[in-house]
Amino acid sequence: MDQALAAAPGSLLCFEDEAGMAGAAAQAAGLTLAVIERHRFPDGELRLRLPESLPPRVVFWRGLHQPNEKLVELLLAGQTARQLGALHLTLVAPYLAYMRQDIAFNPGEAVSQRIVGGFLASLFDAVITVDPHLHRVATLEEAVPVKDAIVLSGAPLLADFIASQRRGVLLIGPDEESWQWVAQAAQRHGWESGVCRKTRHGDRQVDIQLPDLPFAGRAVVLMDDVASSGHTVAQAARLLKAAGAASVDVAVTHALFAAGAVQLIREAGAGQIWSTDCIPHASNAVSIVPVVVQALGQLQRSAPIASQGAARA
């Protein structure tokens, strides 16, 4: 493990469960990979061990699905990295948690986006994420107030993959919020597109209304940023099949997929399910590593260490 903890100029730190993906990114970006040692005590507390010294520029790779314990990891690791010599810290979080709740819908509710966003901004100088689930907040900088808040999208990657699998695609979003990703992907390949109207009655109860488009005989692909319980996608797939679609496939950036979600979607008539590897899942079809590496390179050129260190000091 001592060899894994050895650090050199330009390091990418990760935990063992993400070492494969982070290692590919580190190699492509010319960064040295270091795997953080992680020990859990019998009472549930964590002990982390980073390299004994760190270069001025450090990248943390941590996807924030199942986020609660991972946020504690970032707190411990981020503050320790500063003590060990890091001047500029970048968080690569392919999935960024707690972005849904941007207002208090009922008195006394915690506005988790503001709280978690502020917490991350206290630890990192830059954040790179993919298709954050933002509603009433227009930019990632508003949610996570760091100097460099970089948003990448899985929609073009999924669109290119879909184009290799299906011809004459009709691209449909399962609700109005999916329009930004559907429009981006459809424009890329000149596909006809539309979005459904959704009325939510609970976490697992939704009503869907299809757009006024001809579905009979068409190869329809449902696209969204995230699929969790699967109920919205399943309801849309069921309606599309009833409307005569020749095939209904599903493409999502973040394959959260709660227990039973994939089975629910397939029973509704969906065929293939494709996702990016933002969240490890059997449906992963395209990798975000190349676009993350590109973003890291651009960030390095645009954020000199000297000015960043001076600004934080």
Name the percent of the chain lying above pLDDT 70. Answer: 91
Confidence of residue 307 (pLDDT cuts 50, 70, 90): very low
Cβ within 8 Å of residue 226, ≥6 positions away: 131, 133, 252, 253, 254, 256
Q: What is the pTM of this model?
A: 0.91
Residue 302 has pLDDT above 90, yes or no: no
With cut-offs at 50, 70 and 90, classify the pLDDT of residue 242.
very high
pLDDT given for residue 311 in this prediction: 44
Return the closest-CA partner of residue 287 out of 99, 154, 148, 187: 154
Residue partners of 162: CB distance under 8 A and separation at least 6: 169, 171, 185, 189, 221, 249, 251, 274
Averaged pLDDT, 22-39: 97
Select 155-285's CATH number: 3.40.50.12780, 3.40.50.2020, 1.10.238.10, 3.30.70.141: 3.40.50.2020
Please tell me the number of Cα atoms within 13 Å of 163 on its side-chain side.
13
2-153+289-312 is classed CATH 3.40.50.2020: yes
Average pLDDT estimate for 9-30: 95
- Active site annotation includes 198: yes
Which residue out of 70, 147, 198, 241 is catalytically annotated? 198
Average pLDDT, the chain: 92
Q: What mean pLDDT do residues 280-296 have?
A: 97
What's the average model confidence in pLDDT over 206-235? 93
For CATH 3.40.50.2020, the residue range(s) in the chain are 2-153+289-312, 155-285
pLDDT for 156 beyond 60: yes
For the segment 15-27, the average pLDDT, to the nearest whole number, is: 97
- Lowest-confidence range among 127-136, 194-203, 237-246? 194-203
Location of structure tokens 């392919």: 94
Residues 172-206: tens digit of each pLDDT:
999 998 999 999 999 999 999 999 998 765 555 67
Angstrom distance (rounded) from CA 69 to CA 247: 40
pLDDT value at 305 more than 90 = no
